[in-house]
Structure 1
Amino acid sequence: MARSASYQCPHCSSGMSIRSSRSVHALLRNIYLQCNNYHCSFSAAAILEITHEISPSAKPNPEVKLQTIKELTERKAANDENMENNENG
């Protein structure tokens, strides 16, 4: 069973509930949160974005293009090397 996301109110530190959400596209959702503390009653909007894949899908959507964690790690390492070369020369 999947676990639901847990959010903390930035004002009173109580838990927040997702009241609703709206899909923007396959990788992006707007979520609307409300503080569970009746005396606080803070509400907010947030963005939930899928940024990269950790494990590939067994039924991939050909319209969804995501970098793998390996590609992101290799890219970061390559960029770090370029930064070191620029600092030394």
Structure 2
Amino acid sequence: MSQRFEQDDFKDDMFKERRRNPLVLFGAAATAGVLCAGLLAFKQGNPGLSQKMMRARVAFQAITVGLMAGSTGLYALTSAQGSQPK
């Protein structure tokens, strides 16, 4: 396989996932945003705010993992129901 084919295949898969799980992308973006805010607070010497941001990051990360697991389970259930003969 050529590297070009693998890159195109990866992009197609990524777009399918975005349509199927849009909340996961929002959760990942929120996690990254809170992480950056926490690192910025740490760099500015505000340990209290930095600690709160890191705790919020863990919460956002847990929510994102829950969304991933839930959407994967929902997708598995709907695809399994669609493949069974009636």
TM-score normalised to structure 2 length:
0.29
Q: Which has the higher contact order (CA 8 A, sep 6+)?
A: 2
TM-score normalised to structure 1 length:
0.29
